[in-house]
Homo-oligomer: A and B are copies of this chain.
């Protein structure tokens, strides 16, 4: 088996946000996709070890924040390589609130969702969310995961499904 074949799947770069205990929190993710169009639903995959996983289960809501090619890379690192349990990832960032859900103002688009189903795996939860609101905040081009690796020279947090090792 040549696992490099899996690297040819295409993804975007997202920050999945929700409410933690008393503050907005979230984590970077590349595993998000639309499942149905009527009603619009989105599936996201979040590692059990991510604080965001517990917080989505507690609140039943999340937002997919789509990052653009010109996003400050600090945003990706800030949301990807630290735990929202330990630090306030929104420190210095005033979240927008759409349908009671925190949204990252630096996103080019946001999609807020309420959880309508979940599927558990050994390491990740797939949350199926029904879209409650959506909007565009900028005209920047959506960042693909491939662009992130090639141009931003990004690395992947260990909890990501696509983690490739050091």
Question: Could you tell me which A residues sit within 8 Å of B by CB distance?
Answer: 1-6, 8-12, 30-43, 45, 64, 66, 108-111, 117, 119, 121-124, 126, 128, 131, 133-136, 142-146, 160-163
Contact = CB atoms under 8 A, between A and B. Distances in A.
28 contacts: A1-B131, A1-B133, A2-B135, A5-B136, A6-B111, A8-B12, A8-B142, A9-B12, A9-B33, A9-B111, A10-B11, A10-B142, A10-B144, A11-B33, A32-B33, A33-B45, A33-B161, A34-B161, A35-B124, A35-B126, A36-B161, A37-B160, A38-B123, A41-B121, A117-B121, A126-B128, A142-B146, A144-B144
A31 to B, nearest CB: 5
Contacts of A131: 1, 6
Copies of this chain, whole number: 2
Given A8-B12, A142-B146, 7 more contacts: A9-B142, A10-B143, A10-B144, A33-B33, A33-B161, A35-B45, A36-B124
Given A5-B135, A162-B34, A119 B121 contact: no
